[in-house]
Structure 1
Amino acid sequence: MNAIEQAFSASINTMDPDQVNASLDSQKRWPIHKDTALCSNIMSTIQAPEGSLSIQESTIPDAGSGLFIKRDLAEGELIFTSVPLVLCAEVGQGMEACDFCFQQRRRVFHPVEDRFLQPGEVLPPLHICNGCRMYQYCSKSCWQRAWDTGHLYECGLLAGASTDVETRTLYRLLILMRKKVLLAQQVKALARLEHEVANFERRTKKSWPRIISIAREARERTKSELSIGEILMLYGIIRCNSLPVDQTYRNAPLGNALDFGGALINHCCDPNVVIVFNSTQVQVRALRKLKAGEELLHCYRDIAYDFTFRNPRIAARYQFRCQCDRCREESDRHYKEAKNESDVLPLILSTQAALFDIIDVSKKQAFVTPTAFNVELQLGKVNHILKTGYAGGPWPNNLEPLPTVLKALAALCERQGDLINSIKIRIKALAFTKWRKGLPWSEDLIDFVLSLSTLTMFPSHPSLRDPSLPKHKEFQDIFIGHLHTLHGILLNFYGPQGRTTGIVHTFLQQEKGSYNGPVPGTRAFRRRFKASQENVLKWAGVDEGLWTVE
């Protein structure tokens, strides 16, 4: 065992010195917040104003250590940046992230140039590593830099290896320890992160033998001298602490990132920070005004969904059940409003599954047999489910996955060239969306303004001659208004220097130049926007009070 592996082994088995007289069964690992030297080491990996952050015992029961702000913050203010200890891209069909720079090809932005993709634009092919045939890169230059910074150590070990991102992150960490690329201080901090292996084994009894086999194979492939138990703990650390790269929640993540600052931010379904990735850099910003002394909290996953969907997925992934105020409020709402005296949750879950099935069926029709896709038929199926889907009563419009189903149908309509139905359905979906505080909402607005951009680009298009449609200038008004609002939201998420902010800012300036109306942000524009928004919502069959824009 080399010095780096020894440092990891010693640190992962460090017990709390305050419990030296406790029995072996009751001893606990030494919490990070009690280890002053370790806290100082972790804080040195974070770029933040000196003295602005501290590691303390979390305010959440049994959550261990947490990260706290020591100064007041404005909404959107940058709290800290950091570079993850390790990143690992998803691979396989449909996964198109560069494993070095993590530029992606699945959004509406060009993966390299700072602009929106053009309709039908063909992107250059990815460069796939000729050795492992697993990892892919946006260019040969990125492949060479990835090779020089670590891929050369793992490439020959990946033949026939699992494509699971957590397993490959495990391989990558073990190799970096074996080759002594990581520093002793880094692995000591890594080892002290929560791993929840005991809970993981207890809750996953059926799959636990498979987890053990993953640890054994990892040890054999990487020639690590850590014990199987220590490798299992490292695997648990990866599962409990990795951040999904690209937290827009719109698609599967682009990969995993293990970052010390991010790992210390505990979970809450009503978060006060947003975590974004600027290429491979982690950036954490305030989602609302923060007071000195508050613990930084972010939602681990599925922020836009109801607790019936979100909570089980968090439990399966992170080995705890969230008991935050939002979860309790959503649970209480179901038992109060559902017209059924029995346990309403299984009935609600059944309806959610039926709604998700409509998305799957619709996609299959639209992609495999486009002529068979009939949006009115699918909307009829949705409405039939909604009538009694809420445990005997009507399904609430703002309860997921209804808004998600409508967004999916809108996207399929747009793909089929039915732009009018696409916009009409998308307006209803956005008006029904309840959670408008995070990245998913900004992605929804990006889709919406791009659809409106296409529509307003051709004022003489035959589809716009229908007298029942809002006027062309009204579509222009809401296009400019929502684009202006989107830019403000992105400033709070990505900052003025963020790539996404910059692309939308350039687009906004171009569109404002050709807009024949008041300047966005002025009182005159707000009056005009309000009137146009109300007319468009009325056309879409939506109550104007469901979607107001300040």
Structure 2
Amino acid sequence: MAATFSTSDRDRYRPIHDHPNLCQFLLNKVGSKSIPLRIAASTVVGAGSGLFVDENVAEGQELFRSHPLLTVRNPDIEDVCDACQKKAWRMYHKLECATLKQKPDLPVLDVALMRILNWFKLGALEPEGITALRALEMHLDKHCRSDTENGEGPPSALLSALDARINTESPCSLDVIQELCCMAAEKEANLGTSFDYVVSLINHSCDENTHIFFEGNELRVRSVRSLKAGDEIFVCYTDARADVLQRRDDLKKFFRIDCNCNKCKEEIKDHLKEIGSRKKPLQHLRKCQDGLKNLETKMSDIYWNLYPRAVQMIYRFEEDMATLRKKAFLDGKWPAHVEPLPSCNRTLAAMYNDMRNAVALKFYLAGTLYTRTRSGRAWVLDLFEVVRCLIRMTQHPDDSPMWTVQGFLERDELRDVARGYLQQVCIAAKTVFGLDTKFVSALYKFANKLLDHPGDPTVGTAAFVERYHMSQFRLLDWAGIDKVSAVAVPDAQAVAVMREDINTLTDKGE
């Protein structure tokens, strides 16, 4: 018999932490738990329940793994193996195939909602799971209702609910379906197209202490800094690298959150110092940020889709960037670390790199070394892109025009910097993702082939450190990057541990 989904439960708005049996059910859903977890009242006012650790956690330690209740594939991804297709058909696709044929452009949020309702209709969800779905942050229902009544909220919440009810012929009332839609929307930007019971309990902070990623079809949660027993787990629901003004807008628009964490307060304080006495300084800066981001999106689309390898488009991009940067601050100087400037620099770098132009390296360095935070997955991936650019340049033939660029480095100097940066990438990647991930395994194999070079000093030695510093300072001088932004080389002990890890992965053949 299909489960019932009544909307008249007297404890409908009781938070999850007030349901001991439900808390235990949710924690039992964790696939692999390295740290004891607890569900309790969140330390964030108005956030309802939260997820806490019950023992100390070191930086880079895994907290838990889980298999999400559902994952909706992005429709742009068309390549799916036969085994996955058959599994998907058995589990859910036969219930939604007809609808998706009629509406191939149905948003992934709507598909996720439709899938849950189909499971509910067939009684495929456990009763405790239904209770959990009902209990997960029901305060969102109030936001959706009040926003709709005030004419401010996104009508997509109600429209998606109505569409899903029609497509599934669901017995659920419209308000219940809308609640599910609101809950899915809250987590969608953070987890893409997946929904997980326990991860949904993790509340937002721009100053996150954990991050979430997928390894295959498994969801993993790891710490990005140390936590003490009793600390609440937080993730950033939006792009943690984005500027505070962008983050606050996104959080308000998509999640109805007003974040005032320490990270936000410090960035606002810095902005007010940098902008000066301009009237409505933050609103003015936000407008300029939008202008710069829109320019980046527009020029990127033109270059990659309409006029590939058109160097004039790159020059135009640079000129328009310079014009917009001058408008934001009274002295006409946009701070190099304030987004979206680093993002724009990385986009320019990719274009110049596509043209095999040495200037790409300048923009990669500016877009990576001038960011506020040197930790987390963004730092790993961005610095790795710098390494790849350096290595590609060392492979240019002797008669390449690149070697005639005034002040440019010699081949061995580029190699020195690449080897130094690669060590940092490897060590940071182990902390961020863990050694047992495919990315880190591939990265360490890559490093095993490139860290040593005949005739060059061995990494971890004093001779290498001396050469690395000289080469990096030469590179930063050429690129116009302040030397205080240099990347430190790991100490000998850290390099020795990295070597052991590389040997372990190599011996296992991973």
Same fold (TM over 0.5): yes
C-alpha change, 1:194 and 1:392, in structure 2 (3 Å) is farther
- 2:398 aligned partner: 460
C-alpha change, 1:272 and 1:208, in structure 2 (3 Å) is closer
Shift of 1:36: 0.7
Residues 439-518 of structure 1 aligned to structure 2 (within 5 Å): 439-458=377-396, 460-466=398-404, 468-514=407-453, 516-518=455-457
In terms of mean alpha carbon deviation, does 190-199 or 510-519 score higher?
Answer: 510-519
Code of the aligned partner of 1:267 = H
Q: 2:136 & 2:8 partners in 1: Cα distance? A: 12
Shift of 1:333: 2.1
Candidates 148, 151, 160, aligned match of 2:93: 151
- 2:64 aligned partner: 80
Q: TM-score, normalised by structure 2?
A: 0.89
- 1:359 aligned partner: 296
Q: 1:280 & 1:138 partners in 2: Cα distance? A: 13
Q: 2:155 & 2:485 partners in 1: Cα distance? A: 50
- 2:497 aligned partner: none
Asked if structure 1 preserves the Cα contact closer than 8 Å seen for 2:384 and 2:425, the reply is yes
Candidates 398, 416, 422, aligned match of 2:360: 422
Are residues 1:43 and 2:16 paired? no
Q: 1:532 & 1:31 partners in 2: Cα distance? A: 57
Shift of 1:66: 0.8
Asked if structure 1 preserves the Cα contact closer than 8 Å seen for 2:34 and 2:64, the reply is no
Q: Which runs of 5+ in 1 are unaligned?
A: 17-27, 97-135, 246-254
Q: 1:139 & 1:441 partners in 2: Cα distance? A: 32
Shift of 1:388: 3.8
Shift of 1:166: 0.9
Candidates 50, 53, 56, aligned match of 2:37: 53
Q: 1:13 & 1:414 partners in 2: Cα distance? A: 60
Q: 2:274 & 2:365 partners in 1: Cα distance? A: 26
Code of the aligned partner of 2:355 = Q
Code of the aligned partner of 1:489 = A
Asked if structure 2 preserves the Cα contact closer than 8 Å seen for 1:201 and 1:208, the reply is no
Are residues 1:394 and 2:333 paired? yes
Asked if structure 1 preserves the Cα contact closer than 8 Å seen for 2:66 and 2:219, the reply is yes
Code of the aligned partner of 1:32 = I
Asked if structure 2 preserves the Cα contact closer than 8 Å seen for 1:348 and 1:391, the reply is no
Code of the aligned partner of 1:140 = D
Shift of 1:13: 5.1
1:249-277 deviation per Cα after TM superposition (whole angstroms, max 9, x unaligned)? xxxxxx41111221111111111111111
- 2:285 aligned partner: 348
Asked if structure 2 preserves the Cα contact closer than 8 Å seen for 1:243 and 1:263, the reply is no
1:182-216 deviation per Cα after TM superposition (whole angstroms, max 9, x unaligned)? 22222221211014122123335256555323222
Are residues 1:199 and 2:143 paired? yes
- 2:54 aligned partner: 70
1:283-315 deviation per Cα after TM superposition (whole angstroms, max 9, x unaligned)? 111111211111111111110011111111011
Classify the secondary structure of the residue corresponding to 1:517: coil
- 2:501 aligned partner: none
Shift of 1:417: 2.7
Code of the aligned partner of 2:110 = T
C-alpha change, 1:373 and 1:147, in structure 2 (3 Å) is farther
C-alpha change, 1:244 and 1:160, in structure 2 (3 Å) is farther
Are residues 1:299 and 2:241 paired? no
Classify the secondary structure of the residue corresponding to 2:282: helix
- 1:131 aligned partner: none
Q: 1:293 & 1:413 partners in 2: Cα distance? A: 48
In terms of mean alpha carbon deviation, does 467-476 or 209-218 score higher?
Answer: 209-218
Q: 2:114 & 2:370 partners in 1: Cα distance? A: 43
Q: 1:366 & 1:442 partners in 2: Cα distance? A: 26
- 2:496 aligned partner: none
Are residues 1:215 and 2:161 paired? yes
Q: TM-score, normalised by structure 1?
A: 0.83
Q: 1:51 & 1:401 partners in 2: Cα distance? A: 37
Asked if structure 2 preserves the Cα contact closer than 8 Å seen for 1:366 and 1:373, the reply is no
The number of aligned residues is 482
Classify the secondary structure of the residue corresponding to 1:332: helix
1:386-442 deviation per Cα after TM superposition (whole angstroms, max 9, x unaligned)? 234126652211100000001001111112232x11112111221221122222222
Q: 1:163 & 1:315 partners in 2: Cα distance? A: 25
Code of the aligned partner of 2:63 = I
- 1:160 aligned partner: 102
Code of the aligned partner of 1:301 = T
Code of the aligned partner of 1:146 = A
Q: 2:253 & 2:454 partners in 1: Cα distance? A: 50
Q: 1:146 & 1:535 partners in 2: Cα distance? A: 55
Code of the aligned partner of 2:202 = I
C-alpha change, 1:515 and 1:413, in structure 2 (3 Å) is farther
Q: 2:30 & 2:136 partners in 1: Cα distance? A: 16
Are residues 1:262 and 2:199 paired? yes
Q: Which one has more relative contact order, counting CA pairs under 8 Å at least 6 apart? A: 1
In terms of mean alpha carbon deviation, does 147-156 or 166-175 score higher?
Answer: 147-156
Classify the secondary structure of the residue corresponding to 1:158: helix
Shift of 1:373: 2.8
- 1:189 aligned partner: 132
- 1:224 aligned partner: 170
Q: Which runs of 5+ in 2 are unaligned?
A: 490-510
C-alpha change, 1:465 and 1:320, in structure 2 (3 Å) is closer
- 1:34 aligned partner: 18
Shift of 1:382: 2.1
Residues 530-541 of structure 1 aligned to structure 2 (within 5 Å): 530-541=469-480
Asked if structure 2 preserves the Cα contact closer than 8 Å seen for 1:413 and 1:422, the reply is yes
Classify the secondary structure of the residue corresponding to 1:400: coil
Classify the secondary structure of the residue corresponding to 2:421: helix
Candidates 205, 222, 240, aligned match of 1:285: 222
Asked if structure 1 preserves the Cα contact closer than 8 Å seen for 2:49 and 2:201, the reply is yes
C-alpha change, 1:464 and 1:371, in structure 2 (3 Å) is closer
Q: 1:410 & 1:485 partners in 2: Cα distance? A: 21
Q: 1:282 & 1:193 partners in 2: Cα distance? A: 19
Asked if structure 1 preserves the Cα contact closer than 8 Å seen for 2:41 and 2:48, the reply is yes
Q: 1:309 & 1:515 partners in 2: Cα distance? A: 48
Asked if structure 2 preserves the Cα contact closer than 8 Å seen for 1:79 and 1:285, the reply is yes
Aligned-residue CA RMSD (Å): 2.2
- 1:545 aligned partner: 484
Classify the secondary structure of the residue corresponding to 1:175: helix
Q: 1:200 & 1:373 partners in 2: Cα distance? A: 47
Q: 2:330 & 2:424 partners in 1: Cα distance? A: 37
| Percentage identity across paired residues of the two chains | 26
